[in-house]
Amino acid sequence: MIRRRPVLSLLSALAMVLLLGPILLVVAIGFSSGDTVEFPPPGFSLRWFDQALSNASFQQGLLTSLLVAAAATLFALVLGIPVALAVQRRTFRGHKAVETLFLSPAIVPELVLGFALFQQLMVTMRITALGALLIGHTVLLLPYAVRVTGASLALSDPALEEAARGLGAGPLRAFFAITLPVMTPGIVSAAVLSFLTSFNNVPLSLLLKGPGISTLPVEMLNYVQFSYDPTVAAVSTLLLAATVGAALLTERLVGFNKVFSR
């Protein structure tokens, strides 16, 4: 393969280096024994992981990130699943406009979205920072809930639901017996993608933070403004390991190819 397509193989290798190089660099620095960020590391040490885990700001930011990500994911799925059902299973005037509306947060730059939400929620309506974060992240995650769960429905056969209705099943029974199992891979995938997107978000969280309410990525950004030690690299390594683990577990349980093979 390499001999037949040397240019393609070289470009592929270069792309892998560009994609994985910065990640491996951060991981290596996280295990450094030095007092500042330097590469190659002077030695191996786990002390920066201990410092990262004992940092009070990171602990509070982690709790806030977990709370906001879990709640926003739940709210986005509760709102997005009915929209996906309506768009995929019903034909009505303006259904494309409805779908576009719910997918639009993925098109609008996050800084623009965050500034608009800050003006409306925190300045005009006087909503607390935690409430604004929940609303903002829910809006940000709606495209994942609508698109991914809708893809599961698009790949299924509507005749199964029609057959269940024809055999006497009511709307609720047909939904729980036929439609919901079909949507399950998409719901799980959308939940994982939404949670990771919310947890790792910076632009929206940076604009909607408040006194005592800040997410872990924002706390990491604040930390590197005044400190030059590898603590943030250690935190990034832990987050990377957790993200990879969540992705592998999801692939093992449902398989992303079932949803994204559309």
Q: Tens digit of pLDDT for each residue in 55-74?
A: 888 889 899 999 999 999 99
- CATH architecture of the domain formed by 56-260: Orthogonal Bundle (1.10)
For 44-86, the DSSP string reads: B--HHHHHHHH-HHHHHHHHHHHHHHHHHHHHHHHHHHHHHHH
Residue 8: the pLDDT is 74
Residue 262: the pLDDT is 44
- pLDDT single digits (tens) 3-56: 566 777 778 778 877 887 778 888 888 888 777 777 778 888 888 888 888 888
Distinct helix (H) and strand (E) counts, the chain: 13, 0
Domain ranges of the chain: 56-260
Residue 132: the pLDDT is 87
Gyration radius of the chain over CA positions? 22
Whether the per-residue pLDDT at 185 is higher than 90: the answer is: no
**For residue 108, which phi and psi values (nearest 5 degrees)?**
-70, 130
Residue 157: the pLDDT is 63
User: Look-up: residue for tokens 């909607």?
Assistant: 208
- pLDDT single digits (tens) 97-122: 777 777 778 788 888 888 888 888 88
Residue 71: the pLDDT is 94
| Residue count (the chain) | 262
- Average pLDDT for the chain: 79
Residue 36: the pLDDT is 78
